[in-house]
Amino acid sequence: MIDLKLLQKDFESMAEPLKKKGVDDKLLDELKALALNAKAKRQEMENVTSEQNKLSKEFGRYKKEKLDIAPLQKSIGDLKTKKQTLEDEVRVLEDEMTAIALGIPNLPDDSVPVGADEDENVVLEVIGEKPKFSFEPKEHWDLGEKDGSLDFERGVKLSKSRFVAMRGQAAKLERALINYMLDFNTGRGFEEWYVPFMANTNTLEGTGQLPKFEDDLFKIEGEDLYLIPTAEVPLTNIYRDVLLNDDELPIKLTAHTPCFRSEAGSYGRDTKGLIRQHQFEKIELFKISNPSSSMLELEGLLENAEEILQLLELPYQVVQLCAGDIGFSSCKTYDIEVWMPSQNKYREISSCSNFGDFQARRSNIKFKSDTGKSFVHTINGSGLAVGRTLIALLENRFNDGDFISLPRALEPYFGSSKLEI
């Protein structure tokens, strides 16, 4: 959540970057009116308190001069009542501000390029050679359905569209990728966690999915539980309401979970295949950092995710998202996009973001140091999205025969250098 105290202190300095993320002027005007009203009432409350203290000091003089203290007591009582009324009014205004602020995105970092949408994102680097084929690149579903290892019809039968059932070689490759990525991450100092696949309202509010993005979630009927859209949600909230020591930072966690997304508003995009499923596997990278080093931690997390792709021998590019395209909770985001031959374009396979103190403020995660208590910064990214990695391997490494050649890094996990199809 944005800093409401800073908002009231200097509204204009916060409003301008929020406009870069597309926040509506009308909403900002409403928030400004509440902020100014609360600021005025708080100032009035301070004046009343000052007057109350001033009159309280008069008791000694009144007693010494044997004056009637009843009028003085009445004046102090009236001021006390007025102060309580103002306190109640400020609380109501701040509650209204909080309710609105829960739907306000994080401020973009100064280093984030200005832009309205994905068309204005900036490609930073392109890594690896795109494969050259003597044939028309195959769609991953054609390759997976060749031996029945990707069974979309059974996915529909068991659930509905945008679910898949995997068998045999595809299921084995999915498991191999999960184990490979987890081992890679733990080898780089990330602690592995197993977390619940459902989360309550407080947990989802802490990371910013609620209340704004409830339509994107799957709700468990009759329970205060939702299926998680990403392991970022439980990993962040492990430390909700926790006060950390400075010497504990950075904290580095990784986890494998299925992710569940309703894809509300996707309007039929990528309806075929594994690109945009209601359920998919992902390996999460998560850090809690001292604010002074969080941007360096973001760069390190990005390098970690990139190295996985390099060892999998897949071509990719790194893109810095512009202000209009970064996520709700993020202040700075890099996307890693892997090459998809069948689509003749790069597609996102990891999104690495620094959230600043936005999630920490909502989740009340602080650290203490010699200078006092402060909110931590949270950083997360995919290391990697498993299904999209599987797609990239199928499409980039197909030889137009009856097998997919696998990178050396995967051989110990898959048990072979080839995937037969």
Which residues belong to the active site? 261, 276, 348, 351, 388
Residue 99 CA to residue 134 CA, distance in Å, equals 58
Place of tokens 């990178």: 407
Q: Which amino acid is at 77?
A: G
Cβ(383)–Cβ(305) below 8 Å: yes
In sequence order, which residues have a C-beta less than 8 Å from that of residue 167 and are 6 or more positions away? 148, 149, 151
Task: List, in sequence order, every residue forming a beta bridge with 348; answer none if it has no partner.
Answer: 337
Q: How far is CA 382 from CA 134, 234, 353, in A?
A: 33, 14, 10
Bridge-based pairing state of the strands 251-260 and 243-245 = unpaired
415: tokens are 């048990």
Other Cβ atoms less than 10 A from the Cβ of 39: the count is 16
CB 340 within 8 A of CB 148: no
Cβ count within 10 A of residue 69: 13
Structural tokens at position 252:
């580095």
Cα–Cα distance, 388 to 181 (Å, whole number): 13
How far separated are the first and last CA of the chain, in Å rounded? 49
